[in-house]
Structure 1
Amino acid sequence: MADMVDEKIKNYRTAPFDARFPNTNQTRNCFQNYLDFHRCNKALSAKGQDVSPCQWYQRVYKSLCPMGWVSKWDEQIESGSFPGRI
Structure 2
Amino acid sequence: MLDIEFQKSPKGKWTTPPFDPRFPNQNQTRNCYQNFLDYHRCVKRMNRRGKSTQPCEYYFRVFHSLCPKSWVQRWTEQIQGGTFAGKI
| TM-score normalized with structure 1 length | 0.86
Any residues of structure 2 matched to 1:8-27 within 5 Å, and which? 12-27=14-29
Equivalence for 1:63:
65
Identity %: 55
- Which of these residues, 28, 48, 51, is aligned with residue 49 of structure 1? 51
Consecutive unaligned residues of structure 2, counting only runs of 5 or more, are: 1-11
Cα RMSD of the aligned pairs, angstroms, is 1.1
CA distance in 2, matches of 1:28, 1:76: 18
Structure 1 residue 11, shift from structure 2 partner: 5.1
Equivalence for 1:72:
74
Q: Which amino acid aligns with 1:50?
A: S
Deviating 4+ runs (over 2 angstroms)? none
Structure 1 residue 14, shift from structure 2 partner: 1.1
| TM-score normalized with structure 2 length | 0.84
How many equivalent residue pairs?
77
